[in-house]
Amino acid sequence: MGAPGVTDEYSPPRLSRMLHALPHINVTLHRVNDTFAPNSPVYLESLGILGSIPGAWLILTLTVLLIYLLTRCCDRKQRPPRSITALKITLMILSVLCCGAIGVGLFGNDDLHNAMLQSIQAGNQLAALVNTVKNQSSILEEAMGSRARAPLARLADALDAPVANQTALGTLLRALSALRNNASAAASAADNLRRPLAALNLDAFMKRAWVWEAARWAGGMAGWCCGGAVCVALLAAAARRSRRALLLLCVGALGALVVCWLAGAVLAAAAVAAADACQEPAAALAHHAPHNLPQDMVHYYLSCKVSRENVLTAELRNAQRAVVAVRQALAVLARGAPQLFNDPGLQPALGALGAGTGEAERALVALSGALECRMARAYFVAAARAACDAGLQALSLQLLAAVAAGFLFTAIVLVDSHAWIYINTNPGKPPSYGADVHLMDFDKPRSRMSGSATLGRGAGGAGAAAALGGAHTLGRAPHNGKYATLSKQCKTLESSDFY
């Protein structure tokens, strides 16, 4: 492909041809027509099947993660410190790789934004061309229509005066009739030029496209940045070995995983549809864009194939012939009428008609340039190149980044889940220590002193009393034989029993 502005020739980029070559199949796995047809249910079905591949992988991934968590969440086996360190290092490496994938996605999103802005800029130039045709057609119609009626009426009144030279009068009357008829023909041709484009408002469409693109860019940047924030937070949590943070970020990584695969599904369908449209962008716009214009007219200006004359070009030539005839008739009247008539309103009428004819001629010059198909074709090719070359590359780059981030987030969820399950809140204790410590306390024999001294019985009681060493009241020694009220298995409440 040549650079924009060098040539008006367009050929589909290699990437669009590769994506277009992907099989378009229906639910019965039969090939369907791969021509861009957004109004065809069969074509949309084929795009949906292509986009469902990342969705199916997402379902499989969530199933595997569910099975993994169900098998690991109740695992109480203590892991050696080296195993936890390996999990930390693995999680940090995966977080760094995920940050890289998200950086690629950010770059692709920004690159797509720049490509779409270039395409919108070319569209604005095309809209300015359409506005030129509308404005100059209105000027031509006004100059040869409404503004010419009053001077023609004054000129006709002036020629109604009696004169002796009937031959010269006949020549002037024929010139006046030709002027009136040709002015009407020029105004009619100008109306025919303007009417097909009256409902076409490219300015409003381009403004909406700019707003949509700005919203898409902002949403994409926010989404990629949120994924990057999860990766950076995971990196910090793994470095600090924070179990609560790892547990919370595992949920965040799971949500990012779902978003990545859903975005991959949307981007896959969008990339294939864009590649299909980029094979013949002129035909795609002519048949499917909401312009309410004749398809042959749109295809003529976007492809600039001069196999037959365009409707607007034919009306332009009719207007040019009519204005030339008006100028010739006006020249005849300007030479002969002042010699035969001494009407004071004659010269102002001729001057007004001459000024209107000059304005019509200037409008025709502007229309001749604006209705030339090569200019519209150049703007369209610039827009198509920006969208189908750089834009499609950026879209595919985001697709690859979303898929890579989806795989990396899957690995992060697995490693993170493994890490927070086995990372202890209390160093040196097994993972179940916090949950089982109170059960262990109930199995230990101990005795406590009440308000009176208690007596343990047998060897066990003596050992317990000796272990407590002075846990008695009123200065009495153990085993004094009084107020033996509590069993050696009784347990007093401590502050740890409430937590």
3-state helix/strand/coil string of 100-126 = HHHHHHHHHHHHHHHHHHHHHHHHHHH
* CA–CA dist 67, 77 (Å, integer): 18
DSSP secondary structure, 453-489, as one string:
-----HHHHHHHHHHH-S--STTPPS--SS---S-TT
* CA–CA dist 14, 146 (Å, integer): 55
In this structure, which long-range contacts are made by residues 475-484, counting pairs with CB atoms below 8 Å and at least 24 apart in sequence?
Answer: 478/453, 479/455, 480/453, 480/455, 481/455, 482/452, 482/453, 482/455, 483/452, 483/453, 483/454, 483/455, 484/454, 484/455, 484/457
Instruction: State the maximum Cα–Cα separation within the chain, in Å, rounded to a whole number.
Output: 163
> CA–CA distance from 300 to each of 119, 191, 324, 379 (Å)?
20, 20, 27, 14
Among 47, 119, 49, 117, which Cα is nearest to 275's?
A: 47
DSSP secondary structure, 322-375, as one string:
HHHHHHHHHHHHHHHHHHH---TTHHHHHHHHHHHHHHHHHHHHHHHHHT-HHH
pTM of the predicted model as reported, rounded to 2 decimal places: 0.75
| The pair of three-digit structure tokens given for residue 287, joined into one six-digit string | 């048949």
Q: Which residues, 6+ apart, have CB-to-CB distance to 159 below 8 Å?
A: 169, 172, 173, 176, 337, 341
Q: In whole angstroms, how large is the CA radius of gyration of the chain?
A: 43
The SS3 of residue 308 is coil
Residue type, 120: I
* CA–CA dist 90, 7 (Å, integer): 52
The residue count for the chain = 499
| The pair of three-digit structure tokens given for residue 346, joined into one six-digit string | 């004659």
Number of neighbours of residue 390 by Cβ within 10 angstroms: 18
Residue type, 80: P
Q: What is the DSSP letter of 391?
A: I
| The pair of three-digit structure tokens given for residue 479, joined into one six-digit string | 């085993």
Residue type, 183: A
* CA–CA dist 93, 4 (Å, integer): 43
What pLDDT score does 74 carry? 63
Helices assigned H by DSSP within 145-165: 146-159
* CA–CA dist 181, 186 (Å, integer): 9
DSSP secondary structure, 66-100, as one string:
HHHHHHHTT------HHHHHHHHHHHHHHHHHHHH
Q: pLDDT truncated to tens, each residue of the chain (499 aa)?
A: 334 444 567 889 999 999 999 999 988 889 999 899 898 999 999 999 999 999 999 999 999 888 887 876 665 566 565 667 888 888 889 999 999 999 999 999 999 999 999 999 999 999 999 999 999 999 999 999 889 999 999 888 888 887 777 888 888 889 999 999 999 999 999 999 988 888 888 899 999 999 999 999 999 999 999 999 999 998 888 777 777 888 888 889 999 999 999 999 999 999 999 999 999 998 888 888 777 788 888 888 888 876 666 778 889 999 999 999 999 999 998 888 888 878 788 889 899 999 999 999 999 999 999 988 888 999 999 999 999 999 999 999 999 999 999 999 999 998 888 777 666 544 444 444 443 444 344 444 443 334 433 333 343 443 333 333 434 443 444 444 444 444 444 444 444 443 3
